[in-house]
Structure 1
C-alpha cells in the first residue's frame, strides 16, 4: 500500500523540489535504500534558483548521508554530506545551522574511518559556522562542544578538551538544566579526561560527583549504566597505570573493588558493561598471579558472548597469558589457536600455520598477536612446538598489519605496533633458510614501510622535510667550517680533502634532483622501482641498538644486520664530528654501512632512506677505496618522517 501511494504521488513530486525531497526522505525512512539513492541521483534535474532551493538540496543530502551512516557506509555518507555542504548557503541563518549539522555529521563518519584528526578539524569547522548564527541550534551547539572535548582528549590536547567541557557545562546549565542525559554525559566525559591525564585524585572525584548526581536525581537506567561504566573505567584506570604506580598491590586492590562494584551495578541489566568489568577483573587477577581465578573469568566471558563480539580474541589471549603463567603448555596452545580463529574472518577452517588466514580490518589485532607470541616464547623458550607457533604467528601479525593498515591513517601508536612486529620478525628471519618465504616477508615489509612513510610524510610533511633539509645543511656547513679552520692552521691538504667532498656534492645535485623526481613520480613504490630501474635503494632501520639495512636491487630484495657498527658507535662518531673542535676527517668506512652486495662494487647511483640519527650522516663522505664515496656514485636521499 505504501508504494502504491507514493508511486501515484511521484509523478507530481518530479515537478516539485520540495515534493521530491519529501519522497526521498520517506524512502530512506522505509529503508528502501536503492530506490532512495536512485532518486537522490535525479536531484541534478532540478536547479537551485533560490536560497530556499539550496537549503532543500542540502537537507536531502543530509538525509541521504545519515541513512548511509546508519548502514555503516561511511565513505558514501561523507560524499553525501559534502554535497549538502556545497549547496548549503553560508550567508543566512538557516544555512549556518544546517551547514554546522552537515559538518558535525560528517565528522562522525570520518571518526568511524579512524580519521581522528580530520574528524576534529571538521568539528572545529562546524563550531566556527554555528557561532556565526544569531539564533544557533543550542542542542547542536552543545553536541559540537562535547565532540570537540572528545576529539581533543583523544589526540592528547587535554587543556583544550577541558575548555570545551567547561563550555558544554555552561551551555547545559543555562539552557538544559533538566536534561539529565546531558548532565550525566558531561560528568562522564570529565572522568574520561582525568584518566587520560593519569590523575587518580581527579578520577575518584569525577566518579564521586557522577555517583552523587545519579543518586540525587531520578536518572533511571541511563544514569545507572553510565555509573556502572564509569566505575569499570576507574578500575581499568588503575590497572593501566601499574607501571608508574608507587604501590601496585594497593592500586590493584582499588581496581578490584571498583570492578566488583561495576559488575554488581550492571548485573543482568547492562550486559556489555558487565562483560567489560569482568574482563578488567580477570586482568587484575592475572596481574596478581591469581591465574586460576583469571582463567575462570575468561572462560565465563567466552561462554557469555557471541562469536561476533569483537572482544573475544582478547578473552582468549587472556587465557594464553594465564596458562603460560601456570606453565600449562597444551592449554596455552589451544587458547593461542582460539585467538587466531577469532581474528580469522574466512569461512574455511584455519590451517595450523595460519597460511589461509583472512585478516581483520583492525590494526590492534596485529599487536595482540605479537603480545601472545612473545609471552608464549618467554614462558616456553625450549619448546619446539611453541616456538614454531610463535614464529608463524609473528609472520601472521605482519600480514594482519598490512591488511588492516589504511593509507589514510597515521599515528605513533601504529608505528609502535609495526616496530614490535619488525623486531621479532628480523630475529626469526636470521635463523630461517627458506629464501622464498624470506623474500615474501621482506616484500610485505617494504609495502608497509612505503605506505607508512608516505602517510607519515603527508601527515608531517612540513616538519619532516624541514628536519631532513636542516640535517643535511648542518653537515654541509660543518664541513665548510672545518675546512676553513684547517686552512687557518695551515693544514691545506686536509682542508682541500673536505672541500672536494662539498664540491662533488654540489656538482651532483642536478643528478640527485632528477633521480628523486623519478622516485616521487613512482609514488614511492620502491619494490616496483627496483624491478624496473637499475637504481638500488637502501632503507636503514634502527631497532633498539642494532642497525639494519634493507636493499632493493635489480628485482632482488634482502636485508642485513650491520655487524661492524652499533648505534652507540654511530652516536659517538656523530657527536665527535659535531663538536666545535671535532674533526670531520675521522670518517667511517663505507663497508660499515653498506650491505655486503655493494662492498666490492658500488653502483653508479643509490637512493638512501635514512633512519633516526643517520639523517645527520653525510654518506658521501664515507671512505671508499682510499677516497670518498661521492667520487664513485650519485647519492639521492628520501627523508623518513617515521623517525
Structure 2
C-alpha cells in the first residue's frame, strides 16, 4: 500500500514539475519571441511563436487571452515582413478574436486591425485595408487612455487611403484630426529616432492628399510647395524621413504634369523636382521608388512631345521592372499612349493588352477575348481602362479593331469599378470613372460594338446596384429599425446628434461636422451589432426582369441619365429595354431650366412644352397610359405631365404620371415584406401668428402668412379618413417626431423653407410657439419611419440642390431615406387655396381604391375641369405636386363621422385660450401671441 502511495506521489510531483516547466516555457518563449521580433529577426520570431503556440495546444491556461493575442500578433507581423501576407492576415484575425473587452483589450484589438490593414494593402485589397484602418480608429476612440502614437498614425493613414479613393474632404478631415490629437498629447508620445516624426508625417500626408486630386490647380501646387518647405525645416532627416521627403518632391513634380493646362514651364518644373527627388533618394534601399520617379519623367517628356525619348526611357523601365510589380499596368498603358502619339497602332494595342493581363487577378491566364477577366481592387486601374479606351477611340474613331477593343475596355472598366466601389457616396474621381465607362459602352453599343453579347438590361442592373446603394441601404435600415425593438433612448440620442450636426453646419464648423458624422457612423455600427437584421438588406442582386414581370403592357418606365454633357433615355416596358442618345442634350437641359422658371412665375409657353415633349420622348407615348419617370440633373425640376403632346394636350390628359429616384423604388413588392402594419394617419397643421395674405388665392406655403387653405385641408382630411390631427399649438416638432414613427400616412400642411446653399439645412416649420420649431432635412434622415406615404403639402419640398454624388438633395429624398416608399411633394411655391382643393380630391380618390398616381392625376384633372378662370388653369396652380416612388393603392379603414379625439381636445383648448385672451384684451393687459 505504501509503495502504491509513493508511486502516486512521484507521478503527481513529476506532472506538477512538467506543468510548471511548460508554464515557464510558454511565458519565457513569449518574451523570447518579442525580443527576436524587436531585433528584426523575423524568421526566428516566427519560429518562436509557432513553437509557443504548439505548447499552448495542450494547455491554453498557461497564458491569458491578451498574451495569446500578443503571440499571434508576433506571428502575423513576422509573416508580414517575410512577405507571407495571406498568412499574416489569418494570424491577425486570430489575435483579434482573443482580445478581451477591457480597455487594454480594445486598445490592442485596434492596433491589430491597423496592422492587418498593411497586409491587406500589400495584397492589393485597398478597400479592405481602408476599412480595417477605420475599424481600428473606431475601437481606439472608445478607450479612455488609448495609444495616442497609434491613433495619430491610424488617422494619418486613413487620410492617405481616403485620398487615393477620391474622398479628398474626408482625407483632409482625418489628417486634421491626427494633427489635433498630436498637439494635445505630443508630450505623451515617445519619439523613436528610427521612425518618422509626426510633423514630417503630417506634411508628407498633406502633399499626398493634394496629389490624389482628380484635377490639379495652381493653388494646389502652391499649397504642396509650402508643405514641402515645412518638411525641409524638419531636417536633419533619418532614413525613412528622407524617403518621405524624396517622395513628396516626386509628387510635386507629378502635380505640375496634372494641371488643368500643362505648359512647357510646368514640364521644366516637373523635371527639376523629379531630379531633386532622385538625388535625395537612397536608391539601394528604395530601388522601387526609382521606377516611379523615372515614370513621371516619361510623362514630362510626353508633354514636351519628346515621344522618342519618352519611349526609350519607358522601355528601359519596363525591362527592369519586376514582373509582378503592381505598377506594370500603369507603365504599359503609358507606353501605349506614347505609341499612339507616334501613330504606332499595332504596338499600342499590344501594350494595352499587356496592361489588361496585368490588371487581371484570376488564377488562370486571361483569354484573348478577356471573357474570364477578374478585376483587381485598385480603383485607379479603372481609370486606366476607361480613359485609355477614350484615348484610342479619339485617335482612331472609325477603326473597327480599335472600337472593338475599346468596347471591351469600357466594360472591363465597369467591372473593375464595381469591384472597387464600396463606399455609398460618389466623389469626383468615382463619378468620372463611372460615367466614362457607362457612356463609352452606350456610344459604342449604338455603333454596333459590344462585349460578350452586351445586353442593355445587364448594364441597367449594374447601374442600379452601383447608383442606388446609398439610398437603398438607408431606406431599408430605416424601416427595419422602425420594426426593431430599438429603445427610445437610442433614437433620441441620434436626434440629439443630428441636431448638433445641424448647428455645426449652420456655423460652418468643419471640425465639428466631421466629429458628429463619425459619432453617427459609430452609432450605426453599434445598432448593426445589436440588431443584425438591419444590415441584411444590401442591394446586390437587383434584376430588372423583376420589375418587368410586374408591369402591365400599358406602362413604360423612362430613366434619364446625364453622362458628361450627353443625356440618355432608357425605356423599360414589359418585354423590352432600349435606350436613346438625345440630340442637343445641353440645349434640352437649358430649356428645362428656362421652362421651370416660366411655370414657377405663373406663366405658360405651350410651344416650349411641346418642343420638350418631342425632345424628351423620342418614342411614341400614345401607346402607354402609365409613365414612370426617373429623372436626372435638372429634369428633377420638371413636372412632365405639363408637356404638350402631338394631340395638343397636356401629357397628364393622356397618361398617368409618377416619378422615382431609382428603379427599385418603382416596384411595390420591395416594400410589402414589412413586419409592422400601421393604420394611423397623422396630420400636422401649425397655425402661424402672422396676418392673412392680401389675396387668399395667392397665399403661398413658403411665407409666414397664416395658411387658411392648409387648416381647412387638414380638417377636411379628417372627415375622409380616421386621422390624428395636430393643429395649432399641438403641431409641434416633438409631437411630429413622436407620432410619425407609427403612422401609415404622414400629412404635413405647413410652411417650408429651402436652403439652396446647404440643402440639409432646408426645414419644415412647425408651431411657432415652441422653442424648437424647425425640422431640418438632416434631422429627417434619422426618423426611421414605416409609413406608406408622406404628403409634403408645403412649398419646394420636392426641389433641392443637385449633387453629383447623391442626385437631388431635398425633403422629398429625406423622407425616402427615412423609410417612406412614396412621397407627394412640390416643385415650387404652391398656392395655399388651390393646394387644398387638389389635396382633398387626392384623398377622396385614394379612399375609393385608386392608386396613388391615379388619385393625384384625377385630382388634377378634376381641378382643370372645374376651374373657370383661365388664369388659374396654368400649370403653376395644379402641376406643382408630383408623386415619387411606389404608386400602389393604400387600403385604409373608413372614416368615423366624428373627428379624432385629439382634434376635439385641440378645439376645446383653442376655444379656452380665445376666451381667456379676449378677457385680457378687454383689460389691455395682454395681446394674443
| Cα distance change on mapping 1:261 and 1:387 into 2, 3 Å | same
Aligned to 1:502: none
Aligned to 2:567: 547
Cα drift, residue 80 of structure 1: 5.5
| Cα distance change on mapping 1:546 and 1:630 into 2, 3 Å | farther
**Residues 187-198 of structure 1 mapped to structure 2, 5 A cutoff:** 187-194=200-207, 196-197=209-210, 198=219
Aligned to 2:592: 570
Given the alignment, which residue of 611, 630, 633 partners 1:609? 630
Cα drift, residue 238 of structure 1: 2.2
Aligned to 2:755: none
Task: Tell me if 1:529 matches 2:546.
Answer: yes
| Cα distance change on mapping 1:161 and 1:434 into 2, 3 Å | closer
Scaled by the length of structure 2, what TM-score is found? 0.50
| Cα distance change on mapping 1:359 and 1:199 into 2, 3 Å | closer
Structure with higher Rg: it is 2
Aligned to 2:111: 101
| Cα distance change on mapping 1:20 and 1:261 into 2, 3 Å | closer
The secondary structure found in structure 2 opposite 1:243 is: coil
Cα drift, residue 291 of structure 1: 0.7
**Residues 117-516 of structure 1 mapped to structure 2, 5 A cutoff:** 121-130=134-143, 132-133=144-145, 136-137=146-147, 139-144=149-154, 146-147=156-157, 150=160, 155-157=167-169, 158=172, 161-162=175-176, 164-165=178-179, 167-168=181-182, 171=185, 175-177=189-191, 179-183=193-197, 186-194=199-207, 196-197=209-210, 198-211=219-232, 213-214=234-235, 216=236, 219=238, 221-240=239-258, 242-243=259-260, 248-266=263-281, 267-346=283-362, 353-381=369-397, 383-402=399-418, 404-407=419-422, 410-412=425-427, 413-432=429-448, 437-439=453-455, 442-457=456-471
Separation (CA, whole Å) in 2 of partners of 1:538 and 1:430: 18
**Residues 52-131 of structure 1 mapped to structure 2, 5 A cutoff:** 71-72=85-86, 83=97, 87-90=100-103, 94-95=104-105, 97-98=107-108, 100-101=110-111, 104-105=114-115, 112-114=125-127, 121-130=134-143
Bigger fraction of residues in helix: 1
Cα drift, residue 264 of structure 1: 3.8
The secondary structure found in structure 2 opposite 1:342 is: helix
- 2:472 and 2:539 in contact (8 A); partners too: no
Which moved further from structure 2: 254-263 or 156-165? 156-165
Separation (CA, whole Å) in 1 of partners of 2:314 and 2:568: 40
| Cα distance change on mapping 1:254 and 1:461 into 2, 3 Å | farther
- 1:369 and 1:393 in contact (8 A); partners too: yes
- 2:389 and 2:410 in contact (8 A); partners too: yes
- 1:195 and 1:237 in contact (8 A); partners too: no
The secondary structure found in structure 2 opposite 1:432 is: coil
Aligned to 2:616: 593
Separation (CA, whole Å) in 2 of partners of 1:528 and 1:12: 66
Cα drift, residue 364 of structure 1: 2.6
Q: Work out which structure has the larger RCO, using CA pairs closer than 8 Å and 6 or more positions apart in sequence.
A: 2
Separation (CA, whole Å) in 2 of partners of 1:531 and 1:436: 23
The secondary structure found in structure 2 opposite 1:340 is: helix
The secondary structure found in structure 2 opposite 1:635 is: strand
Scaled by the length of structure 1, what TM-score is found? 0.70
Aligned to 1:637: 660
Cα drift, residue 275 of structure 1: 0.7
Cα drift, residue 173 of structure 1: 6.5
The secondary structure found in structure 2 opposite 1:307 is: coil
Cα drift, residue 599 of structure 1: 2.4
Post-superposition Cα deviations, 1:417-444, rounded to whole Å, max 9, x if no partner, equal 01012222222122218898342xx244
| Cα distance change on mapping 1:638 and 1:20 into 2, 3 Å | farther
Separation (CA, whole Å) in 1 of partners of 2:252 and 2:390: 29
Aligned to 2:921: none
Q: Unpaired segments of 5 or more residues in structure 2?
A: 1-14, 34-42, 211-218, 480-536, 664-804, 808-929
- 2:298 and 2:310 in contact (8 A); partners too: yes
The secondary structure found in structure 2 opposite 1:550 is: strand
Separation (CA, whole Å) in 2 of partners of 1:313 and 1:369: 10
Aligned to 1:582: 603
Cα drift, residue 354 of structure 1: 3.7
Separation (CA, whole Å) in 2 of partners of 1:435 and 1:143: 44
The secondary structure found in structure 2 opposite 1:114 is: helix
- 1:120 and 1:148 in contact (8 A); partners too: yes
- 2:465 and 2:540 in contact (8 A); partners too: no
Separation (CA, whole Å) in 2 of partners of 1:620 and 1:113: 47
Cα drift, residue 325 of structure 1: 1.7
The secondary structure found in structure 2 opposite 1:437 is: coil
- 1:620 and 1:635 in contact (8 A); partners too: no
Cα drift, residue 205 of structure 1: 4.5
Cα drift, residue 115 of structure 1: 5.8
Number of residue-to-residue matches in the alignment: 554
Aligned to 2:889: none
| Cα distance change on mapping 1:430 and 1:166 into 2, 3 Å | same
Which moved further from structure 2: 609-618 or 580-589? 580-589
The secondary structure found in structure 2 opposite 1:182 is: coil
Cα drift, residue 124 of structure 1: 4.2
The secondary structure found in structure 1 opposite 2:142 is: helix
Q: Unpaired segments of 5 or more residues in structure 1?
A: 1-7, 466-519
Cα drift, residue 34 of structure 1: 12
| Cα distance change on mapping 1:306 and 1:109 into 2, 3 Å | closer
